[in-house]
A and B are shown apart, each in its own frame.
Chain A
Amino acid sequence: MRRLLAAVLLTAILSPVALAQAPIKVGILTELSGPLGPSGSGQRDGFLLYLKKNDNRLGGRPVQLVIEDTAGDPQVAITKAKKLAESDKVDVLVGPLLSANGAAVKNYLVSQHMPTVLEATVDEVTDGKYIFRTSFSGNADSYLQGYLPGHAGYRKALLVAPNFNAGQTAIDYFEKGFVAAGGTVVQKLMPRLGTPDFGAVISQFSDKADVGIIFMAGGDAIRFMKTFADYGSKLPLYGFTATVDETLLPAQGKAALGFSGAGFYFSTIDSPANRQFVADYREAYKQNPAWFSAGGYIAGQVLGAALTTTNGKSDDRDALVAAMKAVRLTTPAGSFRFDANNNPIQPRYVMQIREVDSKIQPVVLGMIPEFMPLAEPPALPAQLVLPH
């Protein structure tokens, strides 16, 4: 209902190659409405931007798109996945962002041998064969967000994450990481998803804590940061950068200043590939890309590179996923390849939200060049100075 769900046909440009090759059918199945609608739409837009920059082709073949909305509902996600695979007969799929939806469609897609690139971050979603991820692993990145403030010298942390499965994972791995870096956790708070008023949560903050490690998303993230600023607390905040992602910053404003954390993508990453990507994205959509948009663009790069390897052939699914697994890319987020579980190995950028030229933005302080998606102490570069 929120978005037209009709199939979108990108007409193939008539050329000798196009005449020679039938279009490849690509399904996009993600969250286009509901609480994660803005994020899923960004993922789709990132993917569409890749197509636009490549003559609507993947590996030389013209692309025929079928776009479906999960509406953030696993039941809908599985129904739409079946429709895409069995009735539309798509060759490859760009899959959901919401972890619950990724988990819901995983087994079905594997049974269909459907080459899938998705962004859901819960670890179990990738299968090491057909399901690939272009975002990050929830466990490993939660661990990293816990490890960083401990490494920076904070000793007593309070942890805040929403009360659902991904929030519980975040709390568990924040703690593991923080403890591994020598700290102790003094308080864990898990407000409900969609908490209308964070006043009660923030007034519970323990005086003993010297740092807060936070995971919030969407509307909750805005209310949380704003309320935190209203109460005039001076507690330094670390955590998942989704809490202050670039679609939320305009609403959070100065309340987001000082928040630190690590993520795989920010629009402020200084590289030629990213400058080009940001310029193209801004031209097409009039806003900065956030991590989920970059993930959608990278999904395009993965499929494009793999189909180039197979000379555009997608019938042999095993050959196609083998080619996907072998891709080596330079993306807007840096160097990119997959590990044995189809998790991306790509850099992590440590950032702090700061005001530069009267613009509130993530300022990249340093980079972990090759972040292995594992929940263990990361190899931090010696010159990295963390906010303290």
Chain B
Amino acid sequence: MSFWLINALNGLSFAMVLFVLSAGLTLVFGLLRIINMAHGSFYLLGGYIALSVIQASDHFMLGMASACVAVMLLGAAMQRWTLARLHKQELPQSLLTLGFLFMFADLAFWIWGGNPQLVPKPAVLEGAIRFAGIAYPAYRLALIGIGVLVAVLLWALLEGTRIGAVVRAGMDDEEMVRAMGINIPLVFTAVFAFGAGLAAMGGVLGGPLLGLFPGADFEVAMLAFVVVTVGGLGSIRGAFIASLLVGLADNFGTAWFPQLSLFTAIIPMVIVLALRPSGLMGRA
């Protein structure tokens, strides 16, 4: 019993980190049609900025807020002044974001050095909570709650607000939205910045688990790409379901077949791609 409970909770908490990491990536792809290779950099920079702020101020929330704002501004600048010039040229855009990935990696190495670091957890969430006969880390329980909250807020934002309606319309038919008199370039910049901010949030929330080090940007981007592929490019709902699938598959896979752990996270992607190449919720 406790085996199932612990691994389910492990899988869920990891899934929530995956969701926050990949939500921005899929949103940006859905609207802007950019495969953002630098998405992992936003994770890394967000985590590092939060780390520095938390070390200076001792406030987790302040660290999270400043990381999200700083990375959103960075994302906005990057989209507005470089990517926007290559509108609808998918390959040059991807290559450009790949260049940013290398630049940001060097920048982070230059500022924060190469030693691996962890974002500190909020003090109230240190240690383990005992319930149902198991001891379980408090921070991971909180992650599950936060992940669900982020998912609900994103859903409400996209489905229930005018901005969300514009974004959804832009995903379906950009020209028509433009013709309706909506400033779509501004929407593009805002959505790209928002996606960057989500990745930074993933860096702060996931930082205490996944860590910050040169190369973390690649590792994290890899996981996010798996989730987005499984879920279907552009679909938030798909990303949520895919995060759960990948998180749980990776956890139970590692628990049952530790020797196969190299690809337990990849198995869902292989199966989904074989049966539904556009992903679970993808519209092809």
Alpha-carbon gap, A232 to B139, bound state (A): 13
Which residue of A196, A199, A222, A232 contacts B223 across the interface (Cβ within 8 Å)?
A196
Which residue of B3, B213, B261 contacts A218 across the interface (Cβ within 8 Å)?
B213
Most buried by B among A34, A219, A222: A219
Known: A192-B262, A203-B7, A230-B140. A223 touches B114 (CB 8 A): no
Chain B residues in 8 Å Cβ range of A182: none
A166 CB to nearest chain B CB (Å): 16
Chain A residues in 8 Å Cβ range of B250: 197, 200
Chain A residues in 8 Å Cβ range of B241: none
Chain B residues in 8 Å Cβ range of A227: 137, 209
Chain B residues in 8 Å Cβ range of A95: none
Alpha-carbon gap, A34 to B276, bound state (A): 36
Q: Does A308 contact B (CB under 8 A)?
A: no
Interface string of B187-219 (1 = CB under 8 A from A): 000000000000000000000111101111001
Known: A201-B254, A230-B128, A231-B137. A38 touches B114 (CB 8 A): yes
Is the CB–CB distance between B137 and A230 below 8 Å? yes
Is the CB–CB distance between B215 and A163 below 8 Å? no
Q: Does A248 contact B (CB under 8 A)?
A: yes
A56-80 interface (Cβ within 8 A of B): none
Is the CB–CB distance between A219 and B116 below 8 Å? yes
Q: Does A268 contact B (CB under 8 A)?
A: no
Is the CB–CB distance between A203 and B214 below 8 Å? no
A182 CB to nearest chain B CB (Å): 27
Is the CB–CB distance between B214 and A34 below 8 Å? yes
Q: Does A184 contact B (CB under 8 A)?
A: no
Is the CB–CB distance between A222 and B7 below 8 Å? no
Is the CB–CB distance between B259 and A163 below 8 Å? yes
Chain B residues in 8 Å Cβ range of A219: 116, 211, 213, 215-216
Q: Does B155 contact A (CB under 8 A)?
A: no
Chain A residues in 8 Å Cβ range of B109: 2
Chain A residues in 8 Å Cβ range of B213: 35, 218-219
Alpha-carbon gap, A201 to B14, bound state (A): 13
Question: Which chain A residue shows the least CB distance to B247?
Answer: A197
Alpha-carbon gap, A272 to B87, bound state (A): 65
Known: A190-B258, A219-B216. A199 touches B210 (CB 8 A): no
Chain A residues in 8 Å Cβ range of B6: 199, 203
Is the CB–CB distance between B255 and A203 below 8 Å? yes
Question: Which chain B residue shows the least CB distance to A193?
Answer: B262
Which residue of B216, B251, B259 contacts A199 across the interface (Cβ within 8 Å)?
B251
Q: Does B243 contact A (CB under 8 A)?
A: no
Known: A218-B116, A226-B208, A251-B117. A201 touches B258 (CB 8 A): yes
Alpha-carbon gap, A178 to B165, bound state (A): 64
Is the CB–CB distance between A196 and B115 below 8 Å? no
Chain A residues in 8 Å Cβ range of B219: 194, 196
Alpha-carbon gap, A252 to B10, bound state (A): 21
Which residue of B118, B251, B254 contacts A222 across the interface (Cβ within 8 Å)?
B118
Chain A residues in 8 Å Cβ range of B127: 230, 232
Is the CB–CB distance between A200 and B214 below 8 Å? no
A245 CB to nearest chain B CB (Å): 10
Chain B residues in 8 Å Cβ range of A204: 255, 258
Is the CB–CB distance between A199 and B10 below 8 Å? yes
Q: Does B106 contact A (CB under 8 A)?
A: yes
Alpha-carbon gap, A288 to B127, bound state (A): 29
Is the CB–CB distance between A197 and B255 below 8 Å? no
Is the CB–CB distance between A200 and B114 below 8 Å? no
A125-175 interface (Cβ within 8 A of B): 163
Interface string of B242-282 (1 = CB under 8 A from A): 00000000111011001101100000000000000000000
Is the CB–CB distance between B140 and A163 below 8 Å? no
Which residue of A2, A41, A192, A248 contacts B261 across the interface (Cβ within 8 Å)?
A192
A48 CB to nearest chain B CB (Å): 16
Q: Does A382 contact B (CB under 8 A)?
A: no
Is the CB–CB distance between B106 and A2 below 8 Å? yes
Most buried by B among A190, A192, A226: A192
Q: Does A1 contact B (CB under 8 A)?
A: yes
Q: Does A314 contact B (CB under 8 A)?
A: no
A293-351 interface (Cβ within 8 A of B): none
A158 CB to nearest chain B CB (Å): 12
Interface string of B75-99 (1 = CB under 8 A from A): 0000000000000000000000000
Chain A residues in 8 Å Cβ range of B261: 163, 191-192, 195
B99 CB to nearest chain A CB (Å): 11
Is the CB–CB distance between B116 and A1 below 8 Å? no
Is the CB–CB distance between A203 and B10 below 8 Å? yes
Is the CB–CB distance between B214 and A37 below 8 Å? yes
Is the CB–CB distance between A33 and B209 below 8 Å? no
For the A-B complex with A41-B114, A248-B115 known, give 6 more contacts whose Cβ atoms are closer than 8 Å. Answer: A35-B213, A190-B259, A191-B261, A197-B251, A199-B14, A200-B250
The contact sample of 29 A-B pairs, CB cut-off 8 A, is A1-B102, A34-B215, A35-B213, A35-B214, A38-B116, A41-B114, A163-B261, A192-B262, A195-B254, A196-B14, A196-B209, A196-B210, A196-B219, A197-B14, A197-B251, A199-B14, A199-B140, A200-B10, A200-B250, A201-B254, A203-B7, A204-B258, A219-B213, A222-B211, A226-B208, A230-B127, A230-B128, A231-B137, A248-B115
